A and B are shown apart, each in its own frame.
Chain A
């Protein structure tokens, strides 16, 4: 199995206060990644009841669903999304091994992460690409 590790793709989890935002950003990022290798991307938006907010259960389920053994990059919008992921990471056993909260802008970071992951890059490279999206100034 370990011989295959280089072929495993990093999984991406997109956590937003809104289910629609998370799902749409996932769709956008996958669309812009083009027709290459399909990266496992899972949105975790809103609460379990479909309201605005953050759900620890949805985040944990999304992370488990995209874990291919190469690590999971989690991107978030703000407030409780950031804090809930940090709290889950602190729990130790709630998220797959090698899950990282990525410090990146949500939309731009998601696109950079998915495109980079589609090349078979490792978690560190995916994280770096997403974080680099902060440096792209628009004006």
Chain B
């Protein structure tokens, strides 16, 4: 079973990896975006880690809704409302339970990913965060390590795609050949799950 402490560790681990990888995310966002993905997410997840520590939410759902709210208000770019909606909707789906099973979490995360697809209008293959998140959710039944591998593979697989959503879509064919920064940061988020278990 996964308790609030697990979800707090997930957010802390993600904040640490986003912090570590911020420059790489911004470098990926430089040729096809506006070169702020790393710094934007760094600001957002720093706020998440601080809020989770300060407010000490006591249920899995409360941890994720708090984290999502922080991302919406602090990121400043499209990744804020997108990741914010992902975590908030996942948190809402978990309800008030003090502990949730991995199966319940997988179902809730799928609801969160569905909400992101509705909000941004992106589908798999559009070269967005969805290309990492959907394979990750599909693999969650086999555990967090499998989900991490699926997300990383999904992120890598965005390289040959042509962007159909967001700022990169204006570049048309010139977006081909670059790994999508949003899918890359989504892989970091999913990797945080395995780290939260290890601790």
Give A residues with C-beta under 8 Å from B.
47, 51-57, 79-80, 83-84, 86-88, 90-91
Contact of B119 among A53, A55, A87 (CB under 8 A): A87
Question: A88: which B residues are within 8 A, CB to CB?
Answer: 72
Give B residues with C-beta under 8 Å from A.
34, 36, 40, 69, 72-73, 76-82, 84-85, 88, 119-120, 166-167
Question: A79: which B residues are within 8 A, CB to CB?
Answer: 77-78, 166-167
Question: A86: which B residues are within 8 A, CB to CB?
Answer: 81, 119
4 new A-B contacts at CB < 8 Å, known A80-B81, A83-B82, A84-B81: A80-B78, A80-B79, A86-B119, A87-B80
Known contacts: A80-B80, A83-B82. The answer to whether A56 contacts B73 by CB under 8 A is: yes
Question: A84: which B residues are within 8 A, CB to CB?
Answer: 72, 80-81
Contact of B77 among A53, A57, A90, A91 (CB under 8 A): A53
**How far apart are B73's CB and chain A's nearest CB, in angstroms?**
4
> Once the chains bind, are B85 and A56 in contact (CB under 8 Å)?
no
**How far apart are B142's CB and chain A's nearest CB, in angstroms?**
31
> Once the chains bind, are A87 and B84 in contact (CB under 8 Å)?
yes
Complex Cα–Cα for A47 and B39 (A): 13
Question: A53: which B residues are within 8 A, CB to CB?
Answer: 36, 40, 76-77
- List 10 contacting pairs A-B, 8 Å CB cutoff, sorted by A: A53-B40, A54-B77, A56-B72, A79-B167, A80-B78, A80-B81, A83-B78, A88-B72, A90-B88, A91-B88
Complex Cα–Cα for A117 and B69 (A): 32
